[in-house]
Structure 1
């Protein structure tokens, strides 16, 4: 059975089956540190209700999407990067690098972040 049919890794983390370094949680969202950080601050914000990707969440529950974005702001505040700046990234499907098919926002900061996307060629 694939992850898309079974419980996702994130559902297992939210349920306490897999340990995580929890940064913030409320009745709609759950935020924890990424195990492979791409910046000094790298926290994942996950809605407790599962949607496959950003498009599904936006179409299915725009209010929950707003709650995820507000939770990302709260994470930035708790991590001390609200004033200096932070990035929120949603990877949507395989070509964008999504590997867990339960929508999640990456909150990145704590240092100057370069441009993102395909690297420029010299």
Structure 2
């Protein structure tokens, strides 16, 4: 599948995906290749290529994505146990799909890596 527009297809419901939450600004859905028992991707509905493309016109989307992530973690009842939010940036940072997204990982004890 073409990684260049897969998130846009999910946002527009052109390909099947388990959408956890969607509004006018963001879409949250389960990762098809999970790295933990709970692995949710949080993406802005407006295409922003990477975190490097955040500017004065779209800077509020990051705070909104994090705010909604916390709300979903509480609603799905894993907030108290803990979770991790990760943003990869470009090829060397591990970003595969060129559309800004946050990985929310939970459901097990995650290894420390820093």
After TM superposition, the score normalised by the length of structure 1 is: 0.84
Contact map agreement 1:58 1:65 (CA 8 A) in 2: no
Q: Which has the larger radius of gyration?
A: 1
Residue aligned with 2:54, SS: helix
Deviation at 1:55, TM superposition (A): 2.1
1:72 aligns with 2:74: no
Residue aligned with 1:51, SS: coil
Which residue is 1:52 aligned to? 49
Q: How many pairs align?
A: 113
Q: After TM superposition, where is structure 1 displaced by more than 2 Å over at least 4 residues in a row? A: 57-60
Contact map agreement 1:54 1:103 (CA 8 A) in 2: yes
Deviation at 1:58, TM superposition (A): 5.2
The partner residue of 2:22 within 20, 25, 38 is 25
After TM superposition, the score normalised by the length of structure 2 is: 0.90
Residue aligned with 1:77, SS: helix
Deviation at 1:37, TM superposition (A): 0.6
Q: 5+ residue gaps in structure 2?
A: none
